Every structure is written in structure tokens, then in C-alpha cells.
Amino acid sequence: MNKNLGQNEQELIDQLRQTLDAAGSRYDILAHDITIVSADEGAQRGIGRLREMAPTFILKTEEGYLAAIISGETRLLYKKIKQQLGLKNVSLATPEQVEQVTGSPIGTVSLVNLKLTTIIDSRLLEMEYVYGGCGVARHTLQINVEDLVKVTQARVFEFTELKP
């Protein structure tokens, strides 16, 4: 066990490793001295380029919650999500809802949320690897994009635009 992790945090990382190993995913879990809570911060700290940072947003819809994974250089287009998924109402979940649904606070939400329908913006397919949360503070999941799509059984389509 990593001496810097609590038992619950170690269990979360172990479960994630088991899931990714069982799927044959190419990944690494990177440890940091602080919690990186934004794509901009990850890029500034040299983890990867901004376009490779992959924040996971939890969205609330009339059919339940979705995990939406995008590039750090983009922003969500709710209209495209609604059109593609045939939904009327899509909004960001509140911080309390995010923690209730994922077990993690905003800024640490895992890229892999097997209990949630996951959508991945097609721009991420331009990258070999992306970096995002793994559900545990002070840790980042680096994962091959194709493997991320496979393990999450995500629907992939374009639902973002570049930030101005």
C-alpha cells in the first residue's frame, strides 16, 4: 500500500487498476504532491499539453447522469449533446450531485465511471494518450484513448468547441 494514501483511496486505485488490467488497457497512474483540479493546471505543471488534459464533467439529464469527457482546450456544447442523445434537459451536476454519483469531489472525478453512461468528444481521438482524474486526490490517470473508449463503452461524437 502507498503510505501516502488512506485505505479507501488505495482501494479505489486498486479497483481502477483491476478494471483497466482486465480490459487490457494501456495506462499509468501518476502521483503528485498536490491535487490538480483543472486541465489548465495539469498543462501548467507539465503533465501533458492542454489538448491532452481530459476533464470529466458529470451532467444531469432527464434520464439520469452522464459522464462527459472532453479535451482541456474545449468547452461543452449542450445543444449538440441534446441533439445526439435525444435529450431535452442537460446541465452540469452540482458539486454535491457529482460527489454523490461518483464518490469523488469535483477535480478528482475519474475518467472511468462504469456505472454511468459515458460520452467522449471525438476530438480526443486525435491523441494517443489523455490525462484525467482517477477518483483519488493527488493522482492522475494517463490512458490510451482507444482503451478509454473501450473500457467505458463510451459513445463518441463531437460535442465541444475550442475555448475562445
* pLDDT over 70, % of the chain: 98
> Which 3 state secondary structure label does DSSP give 139?
strand
Binned at pLDDT 50, 70 and 90, residue 1 comes out as: very low
Binned at pLDDT 50, 70 and 90, residue 115 comes out as: very high
CB 112 within 8 A of CB 4: no
Q: What is the pLDDT of residues 136-145, one digit of tens each?
A: 999 999 999 9
Which 8-state DSSP code applies to residue 164?
Answer: -
The whole-angstrom separation of Cα 81 and Cα 73 is 18
Domains of the chain from N-terminus onward: 7-162 (3.90.960.10)
CB 112 within 8 A of CB 148: yes
The whole-angstrom separation of Cα 15 and Cα 20 is 9
Q: What is the pLDDT of residues 26-84, one digit of tens each?
A: 999 999 999 999 999 999 999 999 999 999 999 999 999 999 999 999 999 999 999 99
